Structure 1
Amino acid sequence: MVCQKYFTLNNGAQMPAVGLGTWQSSEKDDTVYKAVKAALAAGYRHIDTAMMYGNEAEVGRGIRDGLKENGLKREDVFVTTKLAPIDARPEYVPRGFEDSFKRLDIGYIDLYLMHWPVAMNPETRQLFPLRPDGSRDVDEELKGRFEITWEAMEKLLDTGKVKSIGVANFSIPNLERLLKTAKVVPAVNQIELHPYLPQFKLVEFCKSKGIHCSAYSPLGSTQSTLFEDETLGKIAKSYNVSLAQILISWGVTRGSVLPKSVHPERIASNIETVELKDEEIQAINDISKTTTKRFIRPNWGVPVFDEDFE
């Protein structure tokens, strides 16, 4: 049965439990366009993209056509996109948002996230600007000052073009800093979450502050070793479902999840979650006692993850 569970954000907005992630989903050959349409046809009501993914235009086209083909209204679908680090300077935030808004062309954006607590040199307009020595070209003027980026994002709410704002990849230390000055508490913190990286402390901290945690790479991304895990395999076999479905079912016991696929059959099966027993949830929680792995860890040249502060 298709999961229709929703989470209520701190501003009252309703966020679907399972959404389609589109990172690494190409615009070429209508790949991401077809994936978005397949997701909407399968019952997904949340589509996640970002300026850095380079596919907002095709995601938007897929949403517009998917709405028509499935008799849906715009308000039936929750759409997330993100501010790139090269647009982190306060004066560039409105431009970055407007560019995404125009590329998507869907009337409004449900959730706009600060993609990373990092500002990169905006002058070259390269997504991952590098210095001559090969290091990340961090914006020295804004280094460690994501609070003023957030202040500029708060003003976007007055435009009526975005319903909620939030962050992504924020650690506890960075959230603590942000909350000291924020007028608007982030509605969401989108982070890497799966059994090898359950981030218990971060999830509990966010919960205590009214910040919803949304999981990207809930299947472990392209280099995932989660599909070889014996505990997950046994549970999947007991329900006669895919191991991916178990990962997603576990994920929605903690927050929303954003599995990525461009294959219609996998897209359809990923949203078919099962009701896990308490002992099964605990068994999955315990996996990280012996196996831990962060699959997504770019070197930004500044502290980002919780372990960077230890």
Structure 2
Amino acid sequence: MERLEAGGIAIPKLGLGTYRLTGDSCREAVESALALGYRHLDTAEMYGNEEAVGAAIAASDVPRDEIHVTTKAWVENLKPDALRRAFDTSQRKLGLESVDLYLIHWPAPDMNLAATLEAMLRLKEEGRIRAVGVANFPVALLRQAVEGIGAPIACNQVEYHVCLDQSALLAYQRQKGIPLVAYCPVAQGRLAEDAGLAGIGRKHGASPTQVALKWLLDQDIVVPIPKARRPVSQQANLDAFRIPLDDDDRATIAAMRKDLRCVNPGFAPDWD
């Protein structure tokens, strides 16, 4: 699988999201994904499933150095001491000597971004994480991290799909060589019945979900991380790589609504 290099790591172009997967269901999903060829696993302390993800990695015969693992610090744990304690817990639950990518899950309104990133970079210096990144950062905050603070940001993980415009963020991240990791890449299932995507799918023998994923995969710096519990769904997402979208398909997608935001909690930043 193609990988995008940034911040000293190489991120596989398609990942497995694990939000709302817990316990045995999560462990089994990660085990099947690894068996099918996935090499990018996304978790977070807030998901409550790091132990299950770690157990699946331990049970797999895939070499650890082939698997990319991302986890995240929750919004309440961004002060340096709290972040270190949060990471200690995440690392213990995952059972890993090091984590490939550690993210600020959401920016906090009162956070000291420089201090938070400094604490993360200390973990990197100690060899406990390989790279640092952020999630849910609009352009202004990402610019502050990259240009104001000078942090080596390896990715920004945000909601992105065919019905949500992220052109300004994409332009900035492309300029800076920072991958955009797309969560909710099929809008939490809302795209499965979309008529326009279904029409494209019929032309290529694909589902609307696969079309939506391929549109993201075709973008040079974008890494979608769809959640998929069942092996058949995981395989279908891998098969999206094979769909040959053409200019007419892309024009149909360009004409779709671009204001559907599925994840927008009360503590979210100003997206503009």
TM normalised by structure 2 equals 0.93
Match of 1:247 in 2: 212
CA RMSD after TM alignment: 1.6
The percentage of aligned residue pairs carrying the same residue is 32
1:171 paired residue among 138, 141, 147: 138
Looking at structure 1, the residues matched to 77 and 246 of structure 2 have their Cα atoms a distance apart, in angstroms, of 44
The structure that is helix-richer by fraction is 2
Once the two structures are superposed, the pairs formed by residues 222-261 of structure 1 within 5 Å of their partners are 224-254=189-219, 255-261=222-228
Once the two structures are superposed, the pairs formed by residues 153-302 of structure 1 within 5 Å of their partners are 153-221=120-188, 224-254=189-219, 255-273=222-240, 274-288=243-257, 291-300=258-267
Looking at structure 1, the residues matched to 87 and 111 of structure 2 have their Cα atoms a distance apart, in angstroms, of 21
User: Which ranges of 4 or more aligned residues in structure 1 deviate by more than 4 Å?
Assistant: none
Match of 1:14 in 2: 10
Q: CA deviation at 1:118?
A: 1.2
Match of 2:20 in 1: 24
Decide whether the 8 Å contact of 2:194 with 2:208 is kept in 1: no
- For residue 209 of structure 2, what is the amino acid of its counterpart? A
Query: How many residues get paired?
Result: 268
Q: CA deviation at 1:76?
A: 0.9
Structure 1 residues 187 and 282, CA gap change in structure 2 (3 angstroms): farther
Decide whether the 8 Å contact of 2:145 with 2:151 is kept in 1: no
Larger-Rg structure: 1
Looking at structure 1, the residues matched to 217 and 119 of structure 2 have their Cα atoms a distance apart, in angstroms, of 31
List runs of 5+ in structure 1 lacking aligned partners: 120-142
List runs of 5+ in structure 2 lacking aligned partners: none
Q: CA deviation at 1:15?
A: 0.9
Looking at structure 2, the residues matched to 187 and 48 of structure 1 have their Cα atoms a distance apart, in angstroms, of 14
Looking at structure 2, the residues matched to 207 and 17 of structure 1 have their Cα atoms a distance apart, in angstroms, of 15
Looking at structure 1, the residues matched to 111 and 256 of structure 2 have their Cα atoms a distance apart, in angstroms, of 34
1:74 paired residue among 58, 61, 64: 64
Which string of whole-angstrom CA distances, capped at 9 and with x for unpartnered residues, describes residues 188-223 of structure 1? 0000000111311111111112211010010112xx
TM normalised by structure 1 equals 0.82
2:96 paired residue among 93, 97, 106: 106
Looking at structure 2, the residues matched to 144 and 184 of structure 1 have their Cα atoms a distance apart, in angstroms, of 16
Match of 1:122 in 2: none
Match of 1:60 in 2: 54
Match of 2:106 in 1: 116
Which string of whole-angstrom CA distances, capped at 9 and with x for unpartnered residues, describes residues 241-278 of structure 1? 22211111111122111000111211111111223223
Q: CA deviation at 1:97?
A: 1.2
Q: Is the counterpart of residue 36 in structure 1 residue 30 in structure 2?
A: yes
Looking at structure 2, the residues matched to 112 and 240 of structure 1 have their Cα atoms a distance apart, in angstroms, of 38
